[in-house]
């Protein structure tokens, strides 16, 4: 009889202990929900009013001092680094996102040089970046840079976020100048629309530590976003490639832009930041919990 009483008492104690643990977990969950959240940042590539697609010819009317010319642009690659992301709250305080280095890209398959087995980087499309562990708050703007800061640009062996010599990129021909990162790449073919079948390869690239200064963009949101673990934020930016072409009024002549043409790299960087990148929408939504 005494043994039966002891067993029943033990079961009751276990039952109460289990209930107490469940209640503690629920309380902890609610407290955490008010402390941190997430935000998605989407770079929606387009060409004027059309969706941006690779291997498709887009019309472009060039107007310069020599006259008006009808051309076509066909793209094979658009890649750029988004880095040093900061959220600005309603009190103008900046909140830096740790290790925020993201490769945004739309590219055909790329042959990777210098690797033994002839590996290829697969055709890839990536427009969305997920920002996590954002402090509870209301945010009115987002700030980021296009490119890689000097610490990591001077030493590609260092890793942070998505940076790394073979992390999400091909070596040399695919994405790097051996000892530093390319910040922005646009590649494809320029065609004359009529009158001649002539075409020419397009290869525009930016990079170097000097170009990272001035590569920052601030996007002011239409309304502040509330972010915590129960409310996530979403920011969608337009990336207009047609606007990027206007970086030079001589694209046929300046079909190749790289390290040896600093002024053109600066023009390409500035056009991307000031004309191509614009706010499309920003919204907050409730996070579904199980």
DSSP strand pairing (67-89 vs 101-107): antiparallel
Question: Which of 174-178, 258-262, 273-277 comes out lowest in average pLDDT?
Answer: 174-178
What is the arithmetic mean of pLDDT over 101-114? 85
Q: What percentage of residues in the chain have a pLDDT greater than 70?
A: 79
- The whole-number pLDDT of residue 19 equals 46
- The whole-number pLDDT of residue 97 equals 95
- The whole-number pLDDT of residue 22 equals 40
Q: What is the pLDDT of residues 2-59, one digit of tens each?
A: 444 444 444 444 444 444 444 434 434 343 445 788 999 999 999 999 999 999 999 9
In a 10 Å sphere around its CB, with 0-12 CB exposed, 13-18 middle and 19+ buried, how is residue 41 labelled? buried
Per-residue pLDDT for 170 more than 50? no
Given a contact cutoff of 8 angstroms between Cβ atoms, the answer to whether 203 and 257 are in contact is yes
Residue-range domain boundaries for the chain: 1-33, 37-286
Give me the sign of the Cα torsion angle 153, 159, 162, 165. positive
More confidently predicted of 174 and 180: 180
Please give the Cα distance from 287 to 233 (Å, whole number).
10
The 3-state DSSP composition of the chain as helix, strand, coil percent (nearest 5) reads: 20, 45, 30
**What average pLDDT does the structure give for the chain?**
84
| 149-180: burial string, b at 16+ Cβ within 10 Å, e else | beebbeebeeeebbbeeeebbbbeebbbeeeb
Question: Which of 173-177, 246-250, 256-260, 283-287 comes out lowest in average pLDDT?
Answer: 173-177
Residues 6+ away with beta carbon under 8 Å from 254: 248, 261, 264
What is the arithmetic mean of pLDDT over 221-231? 90
Given a contact cutoff of 8 angstroms between Cβ atoms, the answer to whether 83 and 102 are in contact is yes
- The whole-number pLDDT of residue 6 equals 44
pTM of the predicted structure, to 2 decimals: 0.83
- The whole-number pLDDT of residue 284 equals 83
Given a contact cutoff of 8 angstroms between Cβ atoms, the answer to whether 104 and 79 are in contact is yes
Partnered with residue 15 across adjacent β-strands are none
Question: Which of 166-175, 209-218, 262-271 comes out lowest in average pLDDT?
Answer: 166-175
Please choose, from the candidates 237, 235, 224, 245, the residue with its C-alpha nearest in 3D space to the C-alpha of residue 277. Answer: 237
């Amino acid at each position: 009889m005494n043994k039966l009483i002891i067993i029943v008492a033990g079961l009751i104690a276990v039952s109460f202990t289990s209930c107490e643990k469940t209640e503690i977990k629920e309380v902890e969950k609610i407290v955490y929900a008010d402390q941190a959240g997430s935000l998605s940042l989407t770079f929606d590539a387009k060409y004027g009013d059309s969706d941006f697609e690779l291997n498709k010819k887009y019309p472009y009317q060039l107007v310069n001092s020599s006259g008006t010319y009808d051309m076509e642009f066909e793209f094979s690659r658009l890649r750029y680094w988004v880095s040093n992301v900061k959220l600005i709250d309603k009190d103008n305080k900046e909140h830096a996102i740790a290790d925020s280095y993201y490769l945004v890209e739309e590219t055909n398959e790329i042959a990777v040089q210098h690797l033994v087995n002839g590996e290829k980087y697969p055709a890839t499309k990536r427009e969305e970046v997920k920002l996590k562990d954002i402090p509870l708050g209301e945010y009115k703007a987002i700030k980021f840079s296009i490119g890689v800061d000097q610490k990591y640009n001077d030493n590609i062996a260092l890793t942070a976020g998505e940076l790394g010599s073979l992390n999400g990129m091909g070596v040399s021909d695919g994405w790097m100048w051996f000892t530093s990162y390319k910040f922005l790449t646009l590649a494809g073919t320029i065609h004359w629309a009529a009158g001649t079948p002539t075409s020419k390869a397009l290869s525009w690239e930016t990079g170097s530590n000097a170009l990272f200064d001035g590569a920052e963009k601030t996007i002011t949101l239409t309304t502040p976003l509330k972010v915590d673990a129960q409310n996530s934020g979403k920011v969608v930016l337009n990336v207009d490639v047609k606007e990027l072409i206007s970086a030079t009024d001589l694209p046929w002549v300046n079909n190749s832009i790289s390290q040896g043409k600093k002024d053109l790299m600066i023009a390409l960087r500035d056009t991307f930041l000031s004309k191509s990148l614009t706010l499309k929408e920003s919204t907050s939504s409730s996070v579904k919990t199980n």
